């Protein structure tokens, strides 16, 4: 097995290697793989859930059921 290019160090062109360190660092930062959930699903589960729901068009529905005792609130809520 070999690691994909996304996990390898960023390749620099000869012209980029002649630049100052700060400019090289800026170029490397721009070329790096754009991690979406850098620390894994476990730490980003809320963001993942929000994006999933937004992409699928799933919106939470909240319904408030009120009424006097024995009017069937629990029955209809189930």
Over the stretch 4-60, which tens digit does the pLDDT of each residue have?
A: 766 666 777 888 888 888 888 888 878 777 776 777 788 888 888 888 999 999 988
Choose among 21, 4, 38: nearest CA to 12: 21
Over the stretch 62-78, which tens digit does the pLDDT of each residue have?
A: 889 999 999 999 998 88
**Residue whose pair of structure tokens reads 């070999």 in the numeric block:** 2
- pTM for the whole thing? 0.37
The token duo for 1 is: 């097995």
Domain ranges of the chain: 1-78
Q: What are phi and psi of 54, to 5 degrees?
A: -65, -45
Q: What is the pLDDT of residue 69?
A: 92
């Amino acid at each position: 097995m070999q690691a994909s290019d996304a996990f390898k160090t960023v390749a620099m062109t000869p012209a980029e290697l002649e630049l100052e360190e700060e400019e090289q660092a800026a170029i490397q930062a721009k070329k790096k793989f754009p991690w979406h959930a850098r620390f894994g699903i476990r730490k980003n589960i809320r963001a993942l859930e929000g994006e999933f729901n937004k992409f699928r068009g799933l919106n939470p529905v909240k319904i408030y059921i009120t009424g006097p005792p024995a009017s069937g609130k629990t029955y209809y809520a189930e």
